[in-house]
C-alpha cells in the first residue's frame, strides 16, 4: 500500500487557523460576536472595571413575539429577520461597544464605560429605533418588530459575568411579561439583589423570576394582594399531604404561584371592576390561562408548570375552561391549585362582599366536590388544615367575615370574579 503525503504551505495553514478562529468568534448567521466572544469580553470588562473603579452596562435584547414569525413564515424568514436586525444593531451602537448573539432571538450588547443612566438612554434609543424601523425581508415585504430590553450595570447589579447575565436575563423576562416593547433595569425590579452567587446550586434566576411574575399580577389587583403566595403555600401543603414526589410538589408550588400570571394581559378596567362582569368581560377574564401559558413558555426552566397554569380553571365535571377537560384528564397539580385558589377567593374581601371565615368556606368546597373540584383533593385539603398547625393558624388568623349567601350549584368560580 502506498502512502501519499500532502504538504500544506505554511501560509495556507495560517489562513486556515485564522478562518477557524474567526468562525469561533463570530456568529455565522448574524455576523455579530459569538456567544464565546461575548463571554470573553464580558469577563474582561468585569476585570477592567474592577481594576480601574469603572462602570459598564450589559443590555439583553429579546425580540417580542419572534416565535410567531417562525411559525407563520418559516425559520428561513426568521433567520432573515435576525440577520437584518443584527446589522441595524451594529449601526446603533458605538465602535467600542460589543454586539453579540446571545442565543435564539436574543442579542447582548456590552457598553464599556457606561453607568446605568447612560445604559438606559442607549437601551431606549435602540428600542425606539427598532419600533420605528420597517425590516425588508425577501418574499415577505416589510416586517415591523418590537424588542424588550433588560439592563444590568456593574458593579451595582453584579460583580461577575454570571451575575450580570442573570440580572439582565431577569430584567428582560420581566419586560416581556409586562407586555414587551419596553426597557427594564434590574435594580428597579421586585426581589432584586437576591441572585445567588456563582457556585450555588440551582438555576440562579429561577426563584426570583417566579416570585416577580406573581408579584406583577398581585400588584394590579388590590383586592387580591398576596393571593398568589397564599394559594402557593396552601397548594404545596396539600400536595405534600397527598404524598406526591418532591419534584411534583415543587412544580405545584411554582404553578400555584403563577396560576394567574395571564391576568397581566387582561385590561385593568375589567380586572379591577367593582361589580358584576358583562359576558364579554367574563370571556376576556377566561383567556388568562392561555395568556399565562404564553408568558411562562418564554422561560424554558418553567415549562414543566405550563399544564398546571393552563388547566387550573378546568372543572372536575368537564364544564370548565379552556379545554373542558374532565376528571383525571385534568393534571393533578391543576386540580390542587383549583381548590386552593377557590378557598382563598372565598376568604378574600371583594368590593361587593366581605370575605368568609374558614368555617364558612369549608362547606362550600365540600358542596362543590365532584362537580367543580376533585373530591379526593377537597378531602386532602381539609385534612391538611387539621394536620398542619402553622397552616391552621394562618387560615384562621382573620376569621371575622360574615356569611353572605350566594348560589353555588357546584360552581364557586363566580366568587373569584
Find out whether 364 and 355 touch, Cβ atoms under 8 Å: no
Burial bucket for residue 138 (CB in 10 Å: 0-12, 13-18, 19+): exposed
Considering the domain architecture, whether residues 181 and 262 belong to the same structural domain is answered as no
Give how far Cα 19 sits from Cα of 8, 23, 30, 147, 365, Å: 16, 6, 17, 33, 68
What pLDDT is recorded for position 223? 55
Angstrom distances, CA of residue 85 to CA of 101, 127, 145, 240, 246: 11, 12, 9, 48, 43
Same domain, 380 and 312: yes
CA distances from 138 to 64, 80, 83, 135 (A): 21, 8, 12, 10
Instruction: Say what the pLDDT of residue 396 is.
Output: 61
Task: Examine residue 209 and state whether it is found in any structural domain, yes or no.
Answer: no
Q: Containing domain of residue 236, as a range?
A: 220-416
In DSSP terms, 148 is beta-bridged to: 62
Could you tell me the three cell numbers for 192?
A: 432584586
Tens-digit pLDDT string for the chain (417 aa): 444 444 455 555 445 444 444 557 899 999 999 999 999 999 999 999 999 999 999 999 999 888 878 877 888 888 989 999 999 999 999 999 999 999 889 999 999 999 999 999 999 999 999 999 887 766 666 778 899 999 999 999 999 999 999 899 988 887 876 667 889 999 887 555 444 333 332 344 555 566 667 766 766 665 555 788 889 889 999 999 999 998 899 899 989 989 998 888 788 788 777 778 899 999 989 999 998 898 888 777 788 999 999 999 999 999 999 999 999 999 999 999 999 999 999 988 776 678 888 889 999 999 999 999 999 999 999 999 888 766 666 666 555 443 332 233 333 333 333
> Which conformational region is residue 193 in: left (phi greater than 0), alpha (psi within -120 to 50 degrees), or beta?
left
Q: Is residue 17 one of the residues assigned to a domain?
A: no
Same domain (yes/no): 134, 256: no
DSSP states along 245-298 = -HHHHHHHHHHHHTTTGGGGGS-HHHHT-SSPPPHHHHHHHTTHHHHHHHHHTT
Q: Record the cell numbers describing residue 296, joined without a space.
A: 411562562
Instruction: Mark whether 159 and 256 lie in a shared domain.
Output: no
CATH code, domain with 380 = 1.10.3210.10
- Does residue 198 form part of some domain? no
How many domains does the structure of the chain reveal?
A: 2
Is 85 part of a structural domain of the chain? yes
Asked if residue 303 and residue 228 are part of one domain, the reply reads: yes
**Which of 139, 173, 192 is the last residue in one of the domains?**
192
Domain-embedded: residue 248: yes
Same domain, 227 and 368: yes
In a domain, 10, yes or no: no
Same domain, 182 and 272: no
pLDDT at 409: 33
Same domain assignment for residues 187 and 227: no
Domain holding 183: CATH number?
3.30.70.270
User: What's the pLDDT score for residue 170?
Assistant: 84
pTM, full prediction: 0.55
Q: Containing H/E element for 381?
A: helix 375-387
Q: Does 386 lie in the same domain as 292? A: yes
Considering the domain architecture, whether residues 117 and 48 belong to the same structural domain is answered as yes
Residues 311, 333: Cα–Cα separation, whole Å: 9
Contact yes or no for 293/309 (Cβ under 8 A):
yes
259 shares its domain with 344: yes
Domain shared by 325 and 284, yes or no: yes
Strand partners, 33: 26, 100
Can you give the pLDDT at residue 76?
A: 86
Structural element, H or E, at residue 96: none
The CA angle 411-412-415, to the nearest 5 degrees, is 135
Is the distance from CB of 156 to CB of 190 less than 8 angstroms?
no
- Of 236, 261, 254, 245, nearest to 384 (Cα)? 236
330-368 residues labelled b (16+ CB within 10 A) or e (exposed): bbbbbbbbbbbbbbbbbbbebeeeebbbbebbbebbebb
Amino acid at each position: 500500500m502506498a502512502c501519499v503525503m500532502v504538504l500544506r504551505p505554511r501560509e495556507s495553514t495560517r489562513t486556515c487557523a485564522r478562518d477557524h478562529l474567526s468562525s469561533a468568534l463570530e456568529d455565522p448567521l448574524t455576523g455579530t460576536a459569538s456567544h464565546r466572544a461575548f463571554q470573553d469580553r464580558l469577563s474582561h470588562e468585569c476585570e477592567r472595571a474592577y481594576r480601574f473603579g469603572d462602570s459598564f452596562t450589559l443590555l439583553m435584547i429579546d425580540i417580542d413575539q419572534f416565535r410567531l414569525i417562525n411559525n407563520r413564515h418559516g425559520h428561513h424568514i426568521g433567520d432573515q429577520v435576525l440577520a437584518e436586525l443584527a446589522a441595524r444593531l451594529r449601526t446603533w451602537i458605538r465602535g467600542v461597544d460589543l454586539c453579540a448573539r446571545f442565543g435564539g432571538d436574543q442579542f447582548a450588547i456590552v457598553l464599556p464605560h457606561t453607568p446605568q443612566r447612560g445604559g438606559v438612554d442607549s437601551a431606549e434609543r435602540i428600542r425606539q429605533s427598532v419600533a420605528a424601523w420597517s425590516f425588508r425581508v425577501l418574499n415577505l415585504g416589510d416586517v415591523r418588530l418590537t424588542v424588550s430590553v433588560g439592563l444590568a450595570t456593574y458593579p451595582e447589579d453584579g460583580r461577575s459575568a454570571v451575575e450580570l447575565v442573570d440580572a439582565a436575563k431577569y430584567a428582560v423576562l420581566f419586560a416581556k411579561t409586562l407586555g414587551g416593547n419596553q426597557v427594564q433595569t434590574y435594580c428597579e425590579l421586585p426581589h432584586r439583589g437576591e441572585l445567588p452567587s456563582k457556585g450555588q446550586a440551582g438555576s440562579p434566576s429561577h426563584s426570583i423570576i417566579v416570585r416577580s411574575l406573581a408579584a406583577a399580577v398581585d400588584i394590579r389587583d388590590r383586592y387580591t394582594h398576596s393571593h398568589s403566595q397564599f394559594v402557593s403555600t396552601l397548594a404545596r401543603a396539600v400536595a405534600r399531604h397527598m404524598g406526591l414526589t418532591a419534584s411534583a410538589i415543587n412544580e405545584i408550588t411554582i404553578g400555584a404561584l403563577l396560576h394567574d400570571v395571564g391576568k397581566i394581559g387582561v385590561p385593568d378596567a375589567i380586572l379591577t371592576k367593582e361589580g358584576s362582569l358583562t359576558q364579554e368581560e367574563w370571556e376576556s377574564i377566561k383567556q388568562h390561562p392561555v395568556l399565562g401559558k404564553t408568558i411562562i413558555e418564554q422561560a424554558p426552566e418553567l415549562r414543566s408548570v405550563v399544564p398546571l397554569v393552563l388547566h387550573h380553571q378546568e372543572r372536575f365535571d368537564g364544564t370548565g375552561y379552556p379545554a373542558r377537560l374532565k376528571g383525571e384528564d385534568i393534571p393533578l397539580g391543576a386540580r390542587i391549585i383549583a381548590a386552593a385558589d377557590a378557598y382563598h377567593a372565598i376568604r378574600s374581601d371583594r368590593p361587593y362582599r366581605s370575605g368568609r371565615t374558614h368555617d364558612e368556606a369549608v362547606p362550600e368546597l365540600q358542596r362543590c366536590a365532584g362537580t367543580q373540584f376533585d373530591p379526593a383533593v377537597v378531602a386532602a385539603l381539609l385534612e391538611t388544615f387539621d394536620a398542619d398547625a402553622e397552616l391552621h393558624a394562618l387560615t384562621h388568623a382573620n376569621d371575622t367575615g360574615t356569611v353572605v349567601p350566594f348560589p353555588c350549584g357546584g360552581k364557586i368560580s363566580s366568587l373569584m370574579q
